[in-house]
């Protein structure tokens, strides 16, 4: 059975969204990355693991969770090379995660947003399914075929953005705008705002890393 992990980071999160994400999926482990615990506290959700140097955590909320002896705390050195979110990803994989969903990984800090998007590549390296969610977007990074179902897509629009270089052999089926064995390079917006028109849409590629972003307004 696949082990599903949820990581809650310290970006923009509403109580309603946290409650929705936690309620719609059975996660084997819920991790709070530093101030991600604040959003879990507001939604009355108890994490299994709390990770961080706690430089941005609310002291009262930290003290509240510290009273719960069932929670596993991983305290990090503030002078570290990795972000709390990266450490949470690697810790999840170390503990056997087969799939990881990250919420609170987007928000007003664009540097953190771009950094968290790049961390999706860890999933490719470790063969772990990963996604970055917020109220308007689901972001994944792929290196092979991905099938999307219109009934369960995250939003109206599907955008494709090359990551780290050209992406070769892109073929799109079931979309409004089709491609066949196309090489997509950077510095253009060709892959933005496509739409699924069939019951299923398929993205194929033969080389490179491709960001797949499902969005709604």
Domains located in the chain, CATH noted: 4-135 (3.40.50.10240), 141-215 (3.40.50.10240)
- The encoded tokens of residue 39 equal 């959003």
- The encoded tokens of residue 103 equal 């919420």
Give the tens place of pLDDT for each residue, 6-25. 999 999 999 999 999 999 99
Residue pair 90/119 in contact (Cβ under 8 Å)? The answer is no
Nearest-angstrom CA–CA distance, 43 and 49: 16
Q: Which of 25-29, 82-86, 165-169 has the lowest mean pLDDT?
A: 82-86
pTM for this model (two decimals): 0.95
Q: Give the count of beta carbons closer than 10 Å to the beta carbon of residue 117.
A: 19
How far is C-alpha 19 from the geometric centre of its chain's CA atoms? 17
Residue pair 92/50 in contact (Cβ under 8 Å)? The answer is no
Work out the end-to-end distance of the chain between its first and last CA atoms, rounded to an integer number of angstroms.
35
Give the tens place of pLDDT for each residue, 171-211. 999 999 999 999 999 899 999 999 999 999 999 999 999 99
């Amino acid at each position: 059975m696949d082990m599903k992990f949820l990581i809650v980071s310290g970006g923009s999160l509403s109580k309603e969204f946290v409650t929705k994400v936690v309620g719609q999926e059975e996660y084997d482990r819920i991790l709070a990355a530093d101030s991600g615990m604040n959003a879990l506290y507001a939604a009355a959700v108890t994490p299994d693991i709390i990770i961080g140097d706690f430089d941005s955590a609310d002291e009262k909320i930290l003290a509240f969770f510290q009273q719960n002896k069932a929670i596993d705390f991983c305290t990090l050195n503030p002078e570290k090379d990795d972000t709390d979110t990266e450490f949470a990803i690697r810790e999840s994989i170390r503990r056997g995660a087969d799939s990881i969903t990250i919420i609170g990984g987007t928000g007003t800090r664009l540097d953190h947003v771009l950094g968290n998007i790049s961390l999706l590549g860890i999933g490719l390296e470790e063969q772990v399914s990963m996604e970055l969610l917020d109220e308007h977007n689901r972001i994944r990074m792929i290196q092979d075929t991905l099938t999307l179902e219109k009934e369960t897509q995250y939003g109206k629009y599907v955008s494709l953005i090359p990551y780290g270089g050209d992406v070769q052999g892109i073929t799109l089926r079931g979309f409004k705008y089709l491609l066949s064995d196309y090489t997509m390079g950077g510095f253009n917006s060709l892959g933005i705002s496509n739409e699924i028109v069939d019951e299923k849409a398929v993205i194929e590629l033969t080389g490179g890393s491709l960001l797949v972003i499902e969005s709604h307004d």
